[in-house]
Every structure is written in C-alpha cells, then in structure tokens.
Amino acid sequence: MRKILCTLSAAVLLVACGGGETKKESTETTTAAPENKLSDNPDYSKGLALVAGSDCLTCHKVAEKNIGPAYQDVAAKYENTDENIEMLAGKIIKGGSGNWGAIPMTAHAQLSQDDAEAMVKYILLLKK
C-alpha cells in the first residue's frame, strides 16, 4: 500500500502544474439572493483559503473530475449535515478510497479536524 501511495504521489507531482481554479463567479448587482453570494459566506472563504493552501487542488477541481472527483460532484453526493462534515473531514485526514473509483486519496495527517471540517464546509457549499 505504501508503495502504491508513493508511486501515486510521484505521479501527482508530475501533473501538479496543471491544477488551478478557473471558475469565476460573475456577481451582477441586481437582486442577488444571499445564497448566490458565496464569497460573502465566511465558511466559503475560510475553507477555500485552506484548500488553496494545501495540496487539494493538485487532485481536485471545482467543476471537473481530475485525479479526484470534482468538488461539485462531492457536494451533490453528500447532504450538508454535521455528520457528513465530520465523516468527510476524517477521510481527508486519514485518506479514503472506494467511493469514487480505484484511486485512493492520500492521507493529510498534518491537518486538524477543525481545518478539515472547514474544507468540507466549503466543498459542500459548491452544490449547484
């Protein structure tokens, strides 16, 4: 298993330059409902900053499948409940596999449960 993970991280490093978030929201100042202004939501900004500061975007994109599932697909799959937030944060910390395909997600043992939960809150806000 370690060997697979090492090989995988090597592969990830090779493609690391391709990542990056391209999706921009155009916020027209008409009668935008609060839920359309994601950037005003503190959970959104905090989680986004943490995700951007970690290695997540090497494997994940917001709207397209990459090595990992698109964050919008993750948001569509899981309801935004405390239980799911806790469970998904645990997967980010310990690593996960089997829910989206054969490729496992690497563990992020250095993350605190709080930070991992903040990341999940951001991801679950991306539901379309």
Cβ atoms of 104 and 96 closer than 8 Å: yes
By CB under 6 A, tell whether 103 contacts ligand HEC.
Answer: yes
Token pair 């499948």 is found at 65
By CB under 6 A, tell whether 72 contacts ligand HEC.
Answer: no
CA 97/CA 46 separation, integer angstroms:
26
By CB under 6 A, tell whether 85 contacts ligand HEC.
Answer: no
By CB under 6 A, tell whether 53 contacts ligand HEC.
Answer: no
Q: Which among 14-22, 23-31, 34-42, 55-63 is the span making contact with ligand HEC, rule CB under 6 A?
A: 55-63
Specify burial of residue 68 (Cβ count, 10 A radius: 0-12, 13-18, 19+): buried
Cβ atoms of 27 and 37 closer than 8 Å: yes
CA 22/CA 107 separation, integer angstroms:
26
Euclidean distance between the first and the last CA atom of the chain, given in angstroms as a whole number: 35
In degrees and rounded to multiples of 5, residue 62 shows phi and psi of -70, -50
Shortest Å distance, C-beta 34 to ligand HEC: 24
- The binder of ligand HEC chosen from 38, 41, 43, 55 (CB under 6 A): 55
Shortest Å distance, C-beta 33 to ligand HEC: 26
By CB under 6 A, tell whether 92 contacts ligand HEC.
Answer: yes
By CB under 6 A, tell whether 61 contacts ligand HEC.
Answer: no
Question: Which residues make up the interface to ligand HEC (CB under 6 A)?
Answer: 8, 12, 51, 54-56, 58-60, 67-69, 74, 88, 91-92, 96-101, 103-106, 108, 119-120, 123
